[in-house]
Structure 1
Amino acid sequence: MTPNEALKKNPFVLAPMAGITDHAFRTFMKKLDASVVVTELVSATGIEYKSEKTLKLMSFDETQRPIGIQLFGEDPETIAKAAQFAEAEGCDFVDLNFGCPVPKVVKKGAGSAMLKDPVALQKVLAAVKGAIKIPLTIKIRTGWDANSRNAIEVCNIAYNEGIEWVAIHGRTRAQGYNGLADWDFIADVKANTKIPILGNGDILTARQANLRLQQSGVDGVMIGRGCLKNPFIFMDALSLWRGEQPKDVNRDYQALFNSLKSEIVAHCDEHITGIQLRKFAAWFSTGYSGAAQFRKSLFQSKSNEEIMDLANAFFAGIGTVEQEDTSSEEFLMGGHG
């Protein structure tokens, strides 16, 4: 199944997020009705040098299909070779990141820096598209800064190069993760280009995901931070999109967190497991009474067993309590392009 075919069945895509959408979390979110999933940011240069850490970022399992491997780099030939390697690894499509705002990526001319040079960007697209047989998608921002929001130009280049879709994060590189994603701009891009468009930015509820989809006319929406505080967001968004009421499932966060723990343990060593368990427990607790003290206790914990004891006790006490709106909390920001 191609990425666009998958969108027609489920338009709610898990946004790639560095340090978050690893093998374990992608499998976990697919079980909760996420549509297409994409790996974390993978360095084309890291693939060239066969970096063990880089290659591990590319691992996936059959439950994740259709699965894309997201690459970044600045040299067309290096990225094209990396894309061929990704194809040989069996992924369903390659995604190129032209949206990452992180300085260590941008200073090399990669990520969102590519938006400043559409000619160079076109050369990368042509090189990669010519090197692989599987679909190619790209992720961008609205532009480098407020004076150069050139997403329409980039989308037209992508269309001419035969790209499958363009995902647009509704902020400029200069904004980082500040301010609000500009969905009016995303809608304008969709209305003035022929290529399928995914919108991304500030999707925090299932209802909001559906409203953005309808109001902007995009072909799909990418959800990032929204699933970190509400892992059921994809399930609920899909139900609403189908004209159904959200599934009457037991919103058992304790069982949910233990399910995630099983995936993490299967793919991470003990140290990384501890880091991931703390992060996800903190995110999942957001908006519930006692969350601040719970997070403090989490990050003072000394072992993975203590983390799980704290998490089980906290999530067992949530019950049917309503989750508060915490969209302004800074610790939920960042992590993706």
Structure 2
Amino acid sequence: MKIGNIELGDRPIFLAPMEDVTDPAFRLMCKKFGADMVYTEFISSDALIRLVNKTTQKLSICDEERPVAIQIYGRETDAMVGAAQIAEAACPDILDINFGCPVKKVAGKGAGSGMLQNVPKMLEITRAVVESVKVPVTVKTRLGWDANSKIIVDLAERLQDCGIAALTIHGRTRAQMYTGEADWTLIGDVKNNPRMHIPIIGNGDVTTPQRAKECFDKYGVDAVMIGRGSIGRPWIFKEIKHYLETGEELTSLSFEWKMQVLREEVLNSVERLDERRGIVHIRRHLAATPLFKGIPNFRETRIAMLRTESVKELFEIFETIKPAEVSE
């Protein structure tokens, strides 16, 4: 599979852009475990053109994580064009436009998946951004605004006509947010539309190697994007790649090996921020990891783990969690 001139291999697996998750350290970790392409956190075009320091910091990428995409969002054409040009100067391999974020503070203002209610504006922005930069431009969006407006099959053609190099589709509507099950049927319909010639990337509820393989085999997508399934489990890319290559589950990753990965995540976060903020930042990963699922009487340990602001205390808690206690 290729996006523009970027070769991504056969059945590639991507790390989805996620706010407060896909910082440089996490992207590098996922890359180390086999992610074929990673995305930055999504970046506000309005904040970027005003050169807000916290926003411009999100443009920081390094060669070790390539290929890497910078993702921007917004609702005004001029701001999106300006942001695209600033982002291009950071030398990403790909520039991605977010038309999929469902959260109220984004979609409620007409950006992200809010653009699904204003398709002419979406197309205007897409066309303008494509024309304003030389780097390949891609789009990430959803099936539609709600169950009564699943417009993705037609919309995909229109976005392709704007000159995008690939399209990522999350298999939910904006109204669904992250509830219910992702519907890959329409993603497959887009991919199998004979008028579509750009790569189609599927996203939504891929949390196992078996499901990743099924999405390639059943729906024919060119790539699979992993979002929430990687939080607290960056080794999912290693598991999926092994399964795609061998047809067998990867059983060599021990409980202690995975715990060491979590320790590394904690230390990376603390190094990037500081001890208190770094631990607060990583709590989402610790709360989401499936590693602790099935441990009996774990509630008090979880509470203590998510309350501490000290690396020493957190690691001492980690030491009390033994692999023999895990029921798998």
Query: What TM-score results when the alignment is normalised by the length of structure 1?
Result: 0.89
SS at match of 1:289: coil
Name the residue aligned to 1:153.
Answer: 154
**Aligned counterpart for 1:217 among listed residues 216, 220, 232:** 220
Are the equivalent residues in 1 in contact too, given 2:39–2:69 (CA < 8 A)? yes
Name the residue aligned to 2:305.
Answer: 298
Name the residue aligned to 1:226.
Answer: 229
- The runs of 5 or more residues in structure 2 that have no matched partner are none
Runs of 4 or more off by more than 6 Å in structure 1?
none
Give 1:155 deviation, angstroms.
1.0
Give 1:153 deviation, angstroms.
2.0
For residues 40-64 of structure 1, the C-alpha deviation after alignment (integer angstroms, 9 at most, x for no partner) is 1100011111111111222222211
Range with bigger deviation, 302-311 or 22-31 = 302-311
**1:132 aligns to 2:133 (yes or no):** yes
**1:308 aligns to 2:311 (yes or no):** no
Range with bigger deviation, 271-280 or 14-23 = 271-280
Name the residue aligned to 1:41.
Answer: 42
Change (3 A) 1:75 1:262: same
Name the residue aligned to 1:207.
Answer: 210
Q: Which amino acid aligns with 1:304?
A: V
Are the equivalent residues in 1 in contact too, given 2:123–2:158 (CA < 8 A)? yes
Are the equivalent residues in 1 in contact too, given 2:61–2:90 (CA < 8 A)? no
Give 1:207 deviation, angstroms.
1.2
**1:239 aligns to 2:242 (yes or no):** yes
For residues 202-232 of structure 1, the C-alpha deviation after alignment (integer angstroms, 9 at most, x for no partner) is 1111111111111111111111122225332
**1:289 aligns to 2:289 (yes or no):** no
The alignment-based identity, stated in percent, is: 35
SS at match of 2:96: strand
Name the residue aligned to 1:266.
Answer: 271
Aligned residues: 321
Q: CA–CA distance in 2 between the matches of 1:124 and 1:319?
A: 54
Are the equivalent residues in 2 in contact too, given 1:203–1:223 (CA < 8 A)? yes
Range with bigger deviation, 115-124 or 131-140 = 115-124
Give 1:248 deviation, angstroms.
5.8
Change (3 A) 1:48 1:179: same
Give 1:249 deviation, angstroms.
3.9
State how 1:49-128 maps to structure 2 within 5 Å: 49-128=50-129
Name the residue aligned to 1:333.
Answer: none
Name the residue aligned to 1:27.
Answer: 28
Q: CA–CA distance in 2 between the matches of 1:159 and 1:137?
A: 9
Query: What TM-score results when the alignment is normalised by the length of structure 2?
Result: 0.91
Q: CA–CA distance in 1 between the matches of 2:85 and 2:222?
A: 27
Change (3 A) 1:243 1:44: same
**Aligned counterpart for 2:262 among listed residues 257, 265, 280:** 257
Give 1:84 deviation, angstroms.
0.9
Give 1:254 deviation, angstroms.
2.4
Range with bigger deviation, 8-17 or 182-191 = 8-17
Are the equivalent residues in 2 in contact too, given 1:170–1:182 (CA < 8 A)? yes
Q: Which structure ranks higher in relative contact order (CA pairs < 8 Å, sequence separation ≥ 6)?
A: 1
Change (3 A) 1:301 1:267: closer
Are the equivalent residues in 1 in contact too, given 2:243–2:250 (CA < 8 A)? no
Q: Which amino acid aligns with 2:106?
A: V
Give 1:322 deviation, angstroms.
5.1
After superposition, the CA RMSD in angstroms is: 2.1
Q: CA–CA distance in 1 between the matches of 2:273 and 2:309?
A: 18
Q: Which amino acid aligns with 1:287?
A: K
Q: CA–CA distance in 2 between the matches of 1:78 and 1:67?
A: 22
Change (3 A) 1:320 1:197: farther
